[in-house]
């Protein structure tokens, strides 16, 4: 494990943290931070103590516990698997939208897809991985970009894998249903062609058509765990995820992405993230866009 994300000094191990209705000590915080790091790679420094309290207090209320000491006992116990997952989901921020960081989709359309379209139409396999897909906006943005340029993609060996460690997000993405406000960032021509309107009393929402949903496969996956996928990916999206990890974990995942990409593979990362190209076999080819080194 990497260095601890919190102060190990024992002189305040059981001192209370300024909180609210639930007793919460620095020992509780350290225990939670260690568990979140070991299961999800997320680093929780002491500056996050109020965030941890506010987000997990909701979990204590939901399951009827009276203190964080009781909560720690639960998540460390044999029967705590479901709550550990709920805890990690509570500590991650699912901020996403359709066509977020549009320069990535411009590059995908103009510089990557022409070669992938040719590859797919020649009968070869094409795979794209949205490796932290949240509720599905990112992989569906990829799917809509692909369908606009290649309407016959569903008839080819062209597939987008979407994965996330939060099973609730995976379920939402698989359903492909979004509020009207959320789809406003989808270009109007794509909305009209590839989304269906759902009316429920006074509420209007939209669902990706079956052909769009068929292009995307959603699965639960923790980037720190095993990757059971067979074959390599032509494109990987991993955006605004590494900011939660320490440098050691980042380096490990960058290396695994390099192994998972085809020789001409492309990796899109978040706007505040960078890959140390002196340590990893990537070349920066556009804004927060990398290509596996040695590609043509």
pLDDT tens digit string along 67-86? 999 999 999 988 888 898 88
Q: Where in the chain is the domain with CATH 1.10.155.10?
A: 10-91
Angle of the 68-76 helix axis to the 81-91 helix axis, nearest 10: 120
Choose the catalytic residue: 28, 164, 166, 234: 164
User: Structurally, what CATH architecture does the domain formed by 102-292 represent?
Assistant: 3-Layer(aba) Sandwich (3.40)
Choose the catalytic residue: 55, 109, 121, 217: 55
pLDDT of residue 1: 33
pLDDT of residue 5: 42
Tokens of 43: 């680093």
End-to-end CA distance of the chain: 38
55 as an active site residue: the answer is yes
Q: Give 10-91's CATH code, choosing from 1.10.1040.10, 2.130.10.10, 1.10.3720.10, 1.10.155.10.
A: 1.10.155.10
157 as an active site residue: the answer is no
Q: Where in the chain is the domain with CATH 3.40.50.150?
A: 102-292
pLDDT of residue 179: 94
Question: Rounded distance, CA 181 to CA 204, Å?
Answer: 10
Query: For residue range 109-160, what is the model confidence (pLDDT) as tens digits?
Result: 999 999 999 999 999 999 999 999 999 999 999 999 999 999 999 999 999 9
Question: Rounded distance, CA 284 to CA 131, Å?
Answer: 20
Report the relative pairing of strands 216-220 and 158-164 from DSSP bridges: parallel
Tokens of 193: 């062609």
pLDDT-flagged residues of the chain (< 70): 1-19, 93-94, 294-296
């Amino acid at each position: 494990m990497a260095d601890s994300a919190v102060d190990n000094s024992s002189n305040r191990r059981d001192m209370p943290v300024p909180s609210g209705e639930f007793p919460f000590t620095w020992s509780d915080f350290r225990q939670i931070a260690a568990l979140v790091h070991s299961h999800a790679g997320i680093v929780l420094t002491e500056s996050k103590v109020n965030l941890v309290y506010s987000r997990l207090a909701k979990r204590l209320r939901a399951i009827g516990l009276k203190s964080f000491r009781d909560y720690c006992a639960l998540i460390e116990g044999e029967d705590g698997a479901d709550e550990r997952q709920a805890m990690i989901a509570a500590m991650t921020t699912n901020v996403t939208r359709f066509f977020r960081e549009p320069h990535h989709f411009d590059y995908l359309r103009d510089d990557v897809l022409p070669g992938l379209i040719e590859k797919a139409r020649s009968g070869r396999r094409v795979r794209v991985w949205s490796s932290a897909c949240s509720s599905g906006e990112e992989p569906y943005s990829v799917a809509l970009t692909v369908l606009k340029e290649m309407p016959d993609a569903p008839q080819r060996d062209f597939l987008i894998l979407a994965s996330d460690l939060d099973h609730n997000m995976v379920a939402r993405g698989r359903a492909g249903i979004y509020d009207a406000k959320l789809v406003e960032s989808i270009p109007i021509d794509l909305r009209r062609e590839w989304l269906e309107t759902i009316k429920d009393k006074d509420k209007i929402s939209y669902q990706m058509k079956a052909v769009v949903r068929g292009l995307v496969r959603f699965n639960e996956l923790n980037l720190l765990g095993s990757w059971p996928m067979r074959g390599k990916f032509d494109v990987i999206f991993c955006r605004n995820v590494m900011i939660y990890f320490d440098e050691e974990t980042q380096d490990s995942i960058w290396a695994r992405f390099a192994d998972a990409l085809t020789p001409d593979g492309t990796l899109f990362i978040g706007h505040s993230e960078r890959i140390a190209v002196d340590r990893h076999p990537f070349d920066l080819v556009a804004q927060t866009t990398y290509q596996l080194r040695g590609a043509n």
